[in-house]
Chain A
C-alpha cells in the first residue's frame, strides 16, 4: 500500500513474569511475535478469547506498556523511544466504566475537567461537550453525579471523555460492554460517524462478534498472544472454502414453471448448483449455492418473480464472522 500505515508492528513481544511462589516465577508471552499493520482511517477489530492478549496489545500500541521485543511505530513514533508522543496523540476507552469518572463531580464537570487535561481549545470546549452529551443521550444527566446514574450511562460518559479531542487514533477496549441495546447501537453509530467524518483510525476489541462484523473493515483474530488471521471479513469468509447457499421458499409452483425456473437459475453466472424440493405445494423451495452469492441473489429473485412465482421467505446462509472466529480459534486448538 502506498500510504504509510498509522501503526506498524513487527515481531512485537510482551512477556510477563508470573510468580508461582515466593522465589519462583515463569514467563508468559501475553503477546507473542505479533506483526500488524493498521492503515489510516480503517476500523480494525481485535477478536480473541479471554486472555488472548488483546488488551496487552492495545496497551503497547497506546504507549502504556513497554514491549519486550520486536519493533513498532505508531503514527511514525517509535514505541520504545517516543512513547510519550504516542500517548499524547491517541485516545483510549477502558472497559471499566468507572475509570476516570470522578464521583464528586457532575457529569458535565467531569467532561470539563478532562477537556482541559486533554488540552482541548478553549473555544471548542463548551460546544464539543454539548455535542457529545447530546449524541450519547446524556444531556438530561449533565448535572447529575455519576454515582446516581446507571452503569451504562457511566460507560457513555467514559466514551464521551475519550472523544473530547479528536486524536488520529482511538482505541476502544470493549466499548459497548454493559450498555443496553439502544445504548450499544448509539455507540456503534457514533464510532462509525467519527471514523467517517474525522478519518479517525479505530482499533476496537469486543466479544460481540456481530459488532465487529458490523463495524470493522478488517478483523484480527488472536489466540494465545498470536495473530491467527487478519483480513477483511469478506476475505476471511472466502478462505473458509464454503459455498454460500440460499433457500428460497415459494408458494405453489407448477411442474413446467419449475423446470423453466431451474434452467434459468442454473444459467446465472457463479451459481454452483441449484435444486428444487417440495412434493407438497406449500413447502416448495429452491436451493441455490453460489460463490459469491451476493452478486446472484438479486438476479435469482428477479428470475423467480419474472415467472410470477410467489416467494414466502428467503434465507441466505453465509458463514457469519462468529462461525469464522470459532473455526479459527478451534482449529488451532485441535492441531
Chain B
C-alpha cells in the first residue's frame, strides 16, 4: 500500500516534470501568461472606474469593486482549469496514442490523468495569485484577511467540486465517444451556465430570478458568494442573497459550506466512477487505443 502510494507519487512528479519541460520550452508561454493576467485585471480596473459612481448595489459583498471582480477571476481561473481542462487532457492522451501505454504500467487509472494536469497547475493556478497581486498593487484592490482559514476552506471546496465536474466531462470522451473539441458537459457548464449565471463581473442578485436559480446549480455561485463576503472589505456575513440561502434556515456562509460540500461529495465520486467506467467501456469496444 505504502509502496503503491510512493510509486504513484513518483509518477506524478515525473509527469509534472515533463509538463514543466514542455511548458518552459515554449518561450512565448511565459510572456503570454504574464500579459494575459495583466490585461484582464486592467479591464477590471476600467470597469471599476465606470461603476464607481453608479448606484449598483453590491449589498452583501462589501464596497470594493476591484476586489469583487478579482475574486471572480480567481474562481474563473480555477474553473477554467479544473472543469474545462480534463476533457482536453484526456483527448490529448488519446490522440497522442499513449493511453494504452499508461494503462500497461502499474499505475492507477487516475494517475496519468492527474499527472498531465501539472501544466494547468503551473500555467493557470499562478494566475490566481498573480491577479490578486496585480489587483492589489496597481488597481487598489484590498483584501480582508480576518477569515483566512474559512477562505481557504472555500478554495479547497471549489477546487474539488470543479474537478469532479471536469472528470464527468472528461469521461464523455470514452463513455459517449465524443472525440472532437466540443463536449456537452463542459460546453453546458463552462460556456453557458458559468458564463451567464456565475457572476464574475456582477453580483448574481442583479440577475432575473430564473437565472439565479440556474446559478444555484453550480458550485461557483456559492464559492463566490462566500469568498466575497469573507474577503472583500466591508463584506456582510448575515444578509441572505442567494435563493438557497433564503430557503435554508442557516446563516449564508453555512449554507454555502453545506451546498458546496454536498456538491463535492456527489460530483467527485461520480466523476471518478464515470471516468473509470468510460475506460472500461473503451476496453470493451476497442476504442481505447489508436494503433492497430
Contacts and interface: CB of A to CB of B under 8 A. Distances in A.
Interface of A: 14, 16, 55-56, 59, 62-66, 83, 87-88, 90-92, 94-96, 98-100, 102, 104-105, 109, 112-114, 116-119, 161, 173
A105 B284 CA distance: 32
Interface of A is mostly: mixed
B102 A117 contact: yes
A66 B284 contact: yes
A55 B284 CA distance: 15
A16 B291 CA distance: 16
A102 B17 CA distance: 13
Contacts of B22: 102, 104-105
A104 B7 CA distance: 24
Contacts of A83: 283
B190 interface: no
Given A59-B286, A64-B100, A94 B18 contact: no
A118 B107 CA distance: 8
B98 interface: yes
A90 B7 CA distance: 18
Nearest to A17: B285
Contacts of A118: 105-106
A306 B41 CA distance: 99
Given A66-B284, A102-B18, A117-B14, A91 B97 contact: no
Contacts of A55: 292
Nearest to B23: A104
Interface string B4-33: 000100110111011001100100000000
A19 to B, nearest CB: 11
A104 to B, nearest CB: 4
A62 B286 CA distance: 13
A65 B288 contact: yes
30 contacts: A63-B104, A64-B283, A65-B283, A65-B288, A87-B103, A87-B105, A88-B106, A91-B104, A92-B100, A92-B104, A94-B101, A95-B291, A95-B292, A99-B98, A99-B101, A100-B97, A100-B101, A104-B25, A112-B14, A113-B15, A113-B18, A116-B11, A116-B14, A117-B11, A117-B14, A117-B102, A117-B105, A117-B107, A119-B7, A119-B11
